[in-house]
Structure 1
Amino acid sequence: MDFPFTFHIFGKTILAHPLFEALGMFIGMRYYFYLKRKSKEKTSFNTSAAVLIGATAGALIGSKLIGNLENPYKLFEHFDVKTIWTNNTIVGGLAFGLIGVEVAKKIVKHRESTGDLIVFPLILAMIIGRIGCFLTGIYEETYGLPTQSVFGMHLGDQYIRHPVALYEIAFLLVLWIVLRLIRKKTKSNPGYIFQVFMLSYFTFRFLLDFIKPRLELIGNLGTIQIVCICVIIYYIYKIKKHSNAKFNQETV
């Protein structure tokens, strides 16, 4: 396979990454609305609209903010609007999307968790998006470091690199199965599946970024890893709180 893989649409050459990213968001949203129609838990239109707006706004801001802060020196040395707009990361999108949802819920005074329903559509969208990352090779910053591993691949230059997009796809598929089993075999409070998803994914991304090119800002950690640590600490607290509440209910 030659990298980058491109599509020719209306006389224009388009990289696979943005195309698969858009396709992932579209299919993910359609899957979400399908699950929402089947769900027994109904939320008001105002709550649903507020959560959707909060998640979208937070994800948009966060993905670009953290994406650009991956190399803050480059950002301040050469300020370019096009570059700023095209720099994105799912880590920032998830982290700030969460903040946007929590702010929106406070505005409409909705206390119950709304995250479980979005977990599997989100995983599906991420898998599709990562297919685009893989097909783009080294031509966007979603590739791995050179390696002698048996899993190494040529991604468009002279080096054999970690195909980190494929690693992430494999992880997300396994996580999908595990979360399905958790939901099927355990009685958990609303929001628990989402909490496990976030803790699992951000732990994985923290580790994965050690085999990706990164600017080391604190110790040997990059911006994305620092964000991951913050989210991991938050969700360890949330899951511990959930476990304590469940234990208290069972002992009453």
Structure 2
Amino acid sequence: MLSLISLPYEPILFGIKVNAHIVLEYLAFFVGFQYYLYLRKRTTDTISTNNRLSIIIGAVFGALFFSRLIAFLENPPLHYSQSIISFLNNKTIMGGLFGGLLGVELVKKVIGEKQSSGDLFTLPIILGIAIGRLGCFLAGTKEFTYGKKTTFYFGMDLGDGLSRHPIALYEIIFLIGLFFLITQLQKSTQPLENGSYFKFFMISYFSFRFMMEFLKPNTYFLFGLSSIQYLCLLCLLYYYKSVGEAIKYAYKKLYLL
């Protein structure tokens, strides 16, 4: 069982115990947004500043609502008994991403924007999630982002004395790989069409999270799957055309080999 640091990690600064998870959560928003501004300056954005701002507002409100809703559905009996403050504090990035997507599409229909808007957000989102997941890891078993008990070599004591899958670290490694893969695709001499990079991110990330849910000690299931897994399936269904095209493309490549 690996043990790098004592978890949960809560350093003392000036006599005050610091919640590293919250600090990194705010840092994720700040760094992600600054990276978005940096990329926007370096690219030709086909969407006007006013429409881009409207899209961001739609994404924020959609993310706020769905992040809480999906977190509640992870274990309704447990969350139903909590106070309204606790309910509002419960959130999940999966609901935030899908809710943000729906919020953006709704706003685009209202303002009549036809251009794909996701590509510019893709890398900043990945970077922000990775920073946030580091906070989840440092929170140990205080946050429900830890894995099941395991005898696997990479099992770690996340704060309860048991060897568990450090799924937050698994996710960080996946996100780093995805970040560099999309970066290389964008540098290709044959770049993908507008909007494809965001679709690729969503399909890849939601597929990965569907599999990772099997490593979480979930207690509330519906027909053997968690609410997060149903959301993942819903997202893949939303992008069913892109998924179908990707499968056909991969099949052709394998056939040629």
Query: What's the TM-score, normalizing by structure 1?
Result: 0.91
Match of 1:166 in 2: 169
Match of 1:113 in 2: 116
Aligned length: 243
- Aligned AA (1:101): V
Q: Aligned in 2, Cα 1:9/1:47: closer, same or farther, shift over 3 Å?
A: farther
- Cα RMSD, aligned residues only: 1.8
Match of 2:191 in 1: 187
Match of 1:36 in 2: 40
- Do 1:24 and 1:124's aligned partners in 2 also have CA atoms closer than 8 Å? yes
Q: Gaps spanning 5+ residues in structure 1: where?
A: 245-252
- Residue 239 of structure 2 aligns to a residue whose secondary structure is helix
Match runs of 1:1-252 below 5 Å: 1-8=5-12, 12-76=16-80, 78-185=81-188, 186-240=190-244
Structure 1 residue 217 displacement after superposition: 2.5
Supply the distance in 2 between the matched residues of 1:234 and 1:204 (Cα, whole angstroms). Answer: 16
Structure 1 residue 90 displacement after superposition: 0.4
Query: What's the TM-score, normalizing by structure 2?
Result: 0.89
Supply the distance in 2 between the matched residues of 1:239 and 1:209 (Cα, whole angstroms). Answer: 21
Structure 1 residue 204 displacement after superposition: 0.2
- Aligned AA (1:227): L
- Residue 185 of structure 2 aligns to a residue whose secondary structure is helix
Runs of 4+ aligned residues of structure 1 deviating over 3 Å after TM superposition are: 7-12, 238-244
Structure 1 residue 43 displacement after superposition: 2.1
Q: Aligned in 2, Cα 1:243/1:187: closer, same or farther, shift over 3 Å?
A: farther
Structure 1 residue 38 displacement after superposition: 1.1
Q: Aligned in 2, Cα 1:220/1:35: closer, same or farther, shift over 3 Å?
A: same
Match of 1:249 in 2: none
Supply the distance in 1 between the matched residues of 2:111 and 2:11 (Cα, whole angstroms). Answer: 43
Structure 1 residue 14 displacement after superposition: 3.1
Query: Structure 1, residues 188-228: CA drift from partner, whole Å, max 9, x if none?
Result: 21100000000000000000010012134222210101100
- Do 1:63 and 1:90's aligned partners in 2 also have CA atoms closer than 8 Å? yes
Q: Gaps spanning 5+ residues in structure 2: where?
A: 249-257
Supply the distance in 1 between the matched residues of 2:150 and 2:236 (Cα, whole angstroms). Answer: 28
Supply the distance in 2 between the matched residues of 1:144 and 1:118 (Cα, whole angstroms). Answer: 29
Supply the distance in 1 between the matched residues of 2:106 and 2:118 (Cα, whole angstroms). Answer: 14
